[in-house]
């Protein structure tokens, strides 16, 4: 039995999901061998999943999205670092009730990458998602040695809004160690940098951006790419990267990562490789995956879809647990999931499901054990 589920956002971490499912299964089959492999798709919770898989947790003080100092973590094992941008620049780093779509910066994410380089990482998996920022990765690049100046020769203000004043860009001072590492951009979104499907239009409102802010940010990011296009170090690649899938990830930090030489891969595919999913799958006869909400978004690169796809390719049966279920059985079947078990089947009150997710999930796991194992 393999439990490879993502977090139930706002209720349970991926580690807690695995613990609760295991407890419920063993109430029905006490001696059941269960292997837990918490998973993530590159967004928030990615470092925790790596640590649960045996990576060492490293903490470092970095600049948060609003310029204050925060403690952020990355994970390291045998020359591979897992860096999660949300640890430094995520929405959870903002004070409660505060959103800053125009001014929040990814500078701390660049500091996290630099810490991984300092630790000797030769491969860096850069998980992006859950960001408070829409600065195209400009802050991250600045932390790694790039310079972005206004007409007076001064650094532009932090955040996507400040890029409207950008006159010159210089990437020649980027940390030279970046050319010696494999940098993998792990994301579950494939949006370009700008336009109707770009970072500001699609994700800006989640970060507090008004329609006017979205327009401001989209124009500023387009200007950012145009200025970079006029530099010797980047040139025509700026336009190519801006239009590439994943450039718009996490407020455009995907674009910044591509300027560093990152290769884009779907986040769950990368994380399954890094976490050692394939050998764990070989040992399993049934796989339990899941996340807080199984819905249309799940099918587009989220962790349960990635787990189910890999398991189906290996001929393994998959069931899913979730807080709420918004997919029909035939859709689940096409995704490789035989059956889904939502918490709402046990407790119809959604508020109670969120508040008491752990105990309810144990009861759901008991049902799985009776249906598939007893």
**Boundaries of domain holding 192:** 46-268
174 plus 225 within the same structural domain: yes
72 plus 188 within the same structural domain: yes
CATH number at residue 197: 3.90.1510.10
Residue 125 binned pLDDT confidence (cut-offs 50, 70, 90): very high
H, E, C per residue of 106-173: CHHHHHHHHHHHHCCCCEEEEECCCECCCCCCHHHHHHCCCEEECCCCCECCCCHHHHHHCCEEECCC
- Round to whole Å and give the CA distance between 366 and 105: 45
Q: How far is CA 314 from the centre of its chain?
A: 25
Q: What is the pLDDT of residue 188?
A: 87
132 plus 30 within the same structural domain: no
Q: What is the pLDDT of residue 284?
A: 96
113 plus 156 within the same structural domain: yes
332: pLDDT strictly greater than 90: yes
- As given in the structure block, the two tokens for residue 182 are 């494999």
Number of structural domains, the chain?
Answer: 2
Contact status, residue 257 vs residue 138, Cβ threshold 8 Å: no
Mean pLDDT of 247-264: 97
| Single residue among 218, 242, 268 that ends a domain in this structure | 268
Mean pLDDT of 304-332: 96
Neighbours of 363 (CB within 10 A): 16
Report the chain's C-alpha Rg in angstroms: 21
In sequence order, what DSSP letters do the residues of 322-374 get, joined into one string?
EEEE-S-HHHHHHTT-SEEEEGGGT---HHHHHHTHHHHHHHHHHHHHHHHT-
> Tens digit of pLDDT for each residue in 135-178?
999 999 999 999 999 999 999 999 999 999 999 999 999 999 99
CATH number at residue 311: 3.40.50.10350
Mean pLDDT of 33-57: 94
| Single residue among 241, 268, 295 that ends a domain in this structure | 268
Q: How far is CA 104 from the centre of its chain?
A: 18
> Tens digit of pLDDT for each residue in 192-231?
999 999 999 999 999 999 999 999 999 999 999 999 999 9
> Tens digit of pLDDT for each residue in 11-44?
999 999 999 999 999 999 999 999 999 999 888 8
| Single residue among 246, 268, 290 that ends a domain in this structure | 268
259 plus 287 within the same structural domain: no
Give the Å distances, CA to CA, from 65 to 20, 106, 211, 227.
34, 6, 21, 24
Length of the chain: 374
194 plus 327 within the same structural domain: no
301: pLDDT strictly greater than 90: no
Q: What is the pLDDT of residue 43?
A: 86
Q: What is the pLDDT of residue 57?
A: 98
- As given in the structure block, the two tokens for residue 318 are 């998959």
């Amino acid at each position: 039995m393999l439990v490879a589920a993502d977090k139930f956002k706002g209720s349970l971490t991926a580690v807690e999901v695995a613990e609760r499912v295991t407890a419920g299964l063993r109430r029905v089959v006490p001696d059941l061998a269960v292997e837990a492999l918490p998973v993530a798709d590159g967004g928030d919770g990615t470092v925790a999943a790596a640590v649960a898989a045996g990576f060492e947790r490293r903490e470092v003080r970095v600049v948060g999205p609003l310029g204050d100092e925060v403690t952020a973590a990355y994970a390291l094992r045998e020359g591979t670092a897992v860096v999660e941008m949300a640890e430094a620049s995520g929405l959870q780093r903002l004070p409660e009730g505060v959103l800053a779509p125009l001014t929040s910066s990814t500078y701390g994410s660049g500091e996290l990458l630099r810490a991984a380089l300092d630790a000797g990482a030769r491969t860096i998996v850069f998980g992006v998602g859950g960001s408070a920022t829409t600065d195209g990765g400009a802050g991250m690049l600045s932390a790694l040695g790039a310079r972005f100046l206004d007409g007076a020769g001064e650094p532009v203000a932090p955040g996507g809004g400040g890029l409207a004043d950008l006159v010159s860009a210089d990437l020649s001072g980027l940390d030279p160690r970046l050319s010696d590492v494999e940098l993998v951009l792990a994301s579950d979104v494939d949006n370009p940098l700008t336009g109707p499907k770009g970072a500001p239009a699609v994700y800006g409102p989640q970060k507090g951006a008004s329609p006017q802010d979205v327009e401001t940010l989209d124009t500023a990011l387009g200007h950012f790419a145009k200025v970079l296009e006029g530099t010797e170090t980047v040139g025509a690649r700026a336009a190519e990267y801006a239009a590439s899938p994943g450039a718009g990830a996490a407020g455009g930090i995907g674009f910044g990562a591509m300027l560093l030489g990152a290769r884009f891969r779907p986040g769950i595919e990368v994380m399954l490789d890094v976490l050692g999913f394939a050998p764990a799958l070989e040992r399993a006869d049934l796989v339990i995956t899941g996340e807080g909400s199984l819905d249309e978004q799940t099918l587009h690169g989220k962790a349960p879809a990635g787990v189910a796809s890999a398991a189906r390719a290996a001929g393994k049966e998959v069931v899913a647990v979730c807080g709420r279920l918004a997919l029909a059985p035939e859709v689940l079947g096409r995704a490789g999931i035989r059956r889904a078990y939502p918490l709402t089947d046990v407790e119809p009150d959604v508020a109670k499901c969120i508040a008491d997710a752990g105990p309810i999930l144990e009861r759901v796991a008991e049902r799985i054990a009776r249906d598939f194992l007893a």
